[in-house]
Amino acid sequence: MKLQELEDLVSKGEGQLLEFKLKASFPEKIVREMVAFANTEGGQLFVGVDDDGKISGLKFADEEKFVIENAIKTHIKPGIRYQTEVIPINRKRSVLHYRIFENRKKPIYYLEDPAKRGKAYVRLMDKSIQASREMVEILKRSKTKKSIPIPLGDHEQLLFQLIEKHGKISLHTFMEISGLSKNKASQILIQLVISNILKIEIGENADFYSMKMKNANDRHN
DSSP code per residue over 110-167: E-SSTTS--EEEEEETTEEEEPPHHHHHHHHH-S--S-------HHHHHHHHHHHHHS
Q: What band does 220 get if pLDDT is binned at 50, 70 and 90?
A: very low
150, pLDDT greater than 80 = no
Distances from the Cα of 132 to the Cα of 48, 59, 105, 212, angstroms: 31, 38, 18, 20
Q: Is the CA virtual torsion 201, 205, 206, 208 positive or negative?
A: negative
Q: Is the CA virtual torsion 72, 136, 107, 34 positive or negative?
A: negative
189, pLDDT greater than 60 = yes
Rounded to a whole number of angstroms, the CA Rg of the chain reads 20
Sequence ranges of the chain with CATH classification 3.30.950.30? 3-130
Taking residues 186-207, what's their average pLDDT?
92
In single-letter form, the type of residue at position 22 comes to L
Q: Is 56 within 8 Å of 92 (Cβ atoms)? A: no
What pLDDT is stored for residue 221 in this prediction?
46
In this structure, the chain runs to a length of: 221
Question: Which H/E stretch holds residue 211?
Answer: strand 208-211
CATH number, domain 134-220: 1.10.10.10
CATH architecture of 3-130: 2-Layer Sandwich (3.30)
Pairwise pLDDT comparison (83 vs 147), residue with the higher score: 83
Q: Is 99 within 8 Å of 48 (Cβ atoms)? A: no
Pairwise pLDDT comparison (89 vs 114), residue with the higher score: 89
pTM: 0.85
Sequence ranges of the chain with CATH classification 1.10.10.10? 134-220
Taking residues 170-189, what's their average pLDDT?
95
What pLDDT is stored for residue 142 in this prediction?
72
